[in-house]
Structure 1
């Protein structure tokens, strides 16, 4: 039920924009992730905070990568290589890996 209350709190009638209250509405995005703009009592648009947009974009990107990885695995599983085979082909030893340290991925 708390979710329903959150949605109700995030509703913004479009008339508030028409009355020059846009600045106050956008200020709400500092504390709320999204606002639902109503036109004729129906949802017409959703305004996202930058952090929420970034979070959702990251989820979409990860999902797209997951779908691509799954497709590739189904498409041609015979062309996979073991870690040992790749390291041998590239001339990398376990000692080389240990000396390289941790890698930070963003």
Structure 2
């Protein structure tokens, strides 16, 4: 968890935007990753760098996929599963046949 000093450094009063300091604030966001914009001593919004935003979205997507996979596995009938070896045999393949092929990512 961030320290109190870190939290204070990562806040910016909204009136700084009105004073023409948006460019400076955006540069700080690029360095720190995020700034909390305060209005009337209340957090109004959070500014995130594009990299930080992408990282958070990726984490959310990964968490959703993990939840979905966990749910499916909890309801799976493992007696109906087929081993990798059985799939290879049915398709007339071996593990050696797939060496050097590009990996496929399933979601």
What is the Cα deviation at residue 92 of structure 1? Answer: 1.7
Residue 94 and residue 32 in structure 1: after superposition, are their counterparts in 2 closer, same or farther (change >3 A)? same
Q: How many residues align?
A: 104
Give the gaps of 5 or more residues in structure 1.
none
Structure 1 residues 1-106: aligned runs within 5 Å: 3-78=3-78, 79-98=80-99, 100-101=100-101, 103=103
Residue deviations 1:7-62 (CA, integer Å, cap 9, x gap): 11011001111222111111112211100000111111100011101111111111
Counterpart CA distance in 1 for 2:81 and 2:46 is 43
Counterpart CA distance in 2 for 1:8 and 1:77 is 52
- Partner SS for 1:31: helix
With structure 2 as the length reference, what TM-score do the two structures score? 0.83
Residue 42 and residue 81 in structure 1: after superposition, are their counterparts in 2 closer, same or farther (change >3 A)? same
Give the gaps of 5 or more residues in structure 2.
none
